[in-house]
A = this chain, B = another copy of it.
């Protein structure tokens, strides 16, 4: 059986104007790659009937699967559905299932539904309706001359939802793609080149049908193993064997696998030990708390965070001594030590951590360049601080230092659940 070819068609003037990053193309490409579908082209075009028709015709010649995003909103410049009708030589009809869904969507929010909303429930006659529980534009699946066409909204989290629960599984079923098994091994605290040296021999001895990819981001490196074969069970075993060998080399740097999120894993680790956590933040400005609270279930171990942006809050809420701030400054070992210990006492938790630094681009002082970030960890055994010297990008500094501090909690509490 041949590998099916796919083309991604992103419709949207805002991409061609360079006003938004086209994250959809990359996300879809990654997901198709995981299930053994080869993306032969990404085509990004304007909301224009001629451009869409030309692109659909071109894509039909190159690919077996055409995945379309964008142009499904309720406004006048959203013309994808009308153009699909022209392409398939059909017409728009009201889809009752879609209408019901929309009515529920608006009722739930106590909002009035107007005519342009109602029209979002009309679909080309030959479309199979894909329910969108994340927004108002339905997804559509078409089978046409042996090829699959899918039309989805351009809003990333809506598109990702439709792809995950409907499109990807149905493509696998339709094309009976070869078996592919992925395993992601997630590390933190070791740079890509050091990691690569540590595991060079193992990498060289991987079986032919298993490939390794390095995916670095914000202080973390993900290692993706991809096995291709006939039998999924054998494949899983084979990939697991290689993973086991790999763990012998880098066990301590691995915080999780596959979809594991660092903060979520650390949360589970703490919950399993019945430990509670309090945060004292300055430069991270709430991002550290957000890392934990973006995941449901954080209330099981996280009591809270004091974002002490102003020094008065460091003093009045976190009881950092005025003399310490005067003598050493807010970005100092002495200050973070007090922040970590005091927030632990204030919130009556087992662990307290603190972070204070110069995220940039402003705020650098003599001896403290942008990227100077102090963190501290406090528990019943004492309180320790350490310094990171990071780069010049504000968001990267906030994110990397927060991730490293979360990793410190992990390493201090047994490493991995």
Q: Which residues of A are at the interface with B, using a C-beta cutoff of 8 A?
A: 13-23, 25-33, 38-46, 51, 54-55, 58, 62, 73-77, 108-111, 114, 116-117, 133-134, 155, 157, 182, 191-194, 196-197, 203, 212-217, 224, 226, 279, 281, 284-290, 292-294, 296-299, 302-310, 312-313, 316-317, 346-348, 359-363, 371, 389-396, 398
Contacts and interface: CB of A to CB of B under 8 A. Distances in A.
B317 A306 contact: yes
A322 to B, nearest CB: 16
29 contacts: A14-B215, A14-B224, A15-B42, A16-B38, A16-B39, A18-B39, A19-B30, A19-B213, A40-B45, A41-B44, A41-B55, A42-B44, A43-B43, A75-B193, A77-B212, A110-B389, A114-B193, A116-B193, A157-B393, A279-B307, A285-B292, A285-B294, A293-B398, A296-B362, A302-B310, A303-B309, A306-B306, A312-B347, A316-B347
Given A73-B214, A285-B298, 13 more contacts: A16-B29, A73-B192, A74-B192, A75-B214, A109-B389, A116-B196, A284-B293, A293-B309, A302-B310, A304-B310, A307-B307, A312-B347, A313-B347
Contact of A26 (B18, B292, B307, B310): B18
B317 A74 contact: no
B19 A22 contact: no
A293 B307 contact: yes
Contacts of A39: 16-18
Given A116-B193, A192-B73, A286-B286, A308 B304 contact: yes
B304 A109 contact: no
A415 B287 CA distance: 27
Contacts of A31: 18
B309 A306 contact: no
Contact of A299 (B22, B58, B310, B396): B310
Contact of A114 (B22, B194, B392): B194
Nearest to A310: B303
B196 A389 contact: no
A108 to B, nearest CB: 7
Given A41-B51, A361-B296, A307 B310 contact: no
Among A133, A309, A362, A393, which residue has the most Cβ atoms of chain B within 10 A?
A309
Among A117, A281, A293, which residue has the most Cβ atoms of chain B within 10 A?
A293
A210 to B, nearest CB: 13
B191 A111 contact: yes
A17 to B, nearest CB: 5
Contact of A21 (B26, B292, B359): B26
B43 A42 contact: yes
A172 to B, nearest CB: 17
B286 A193 contact: no
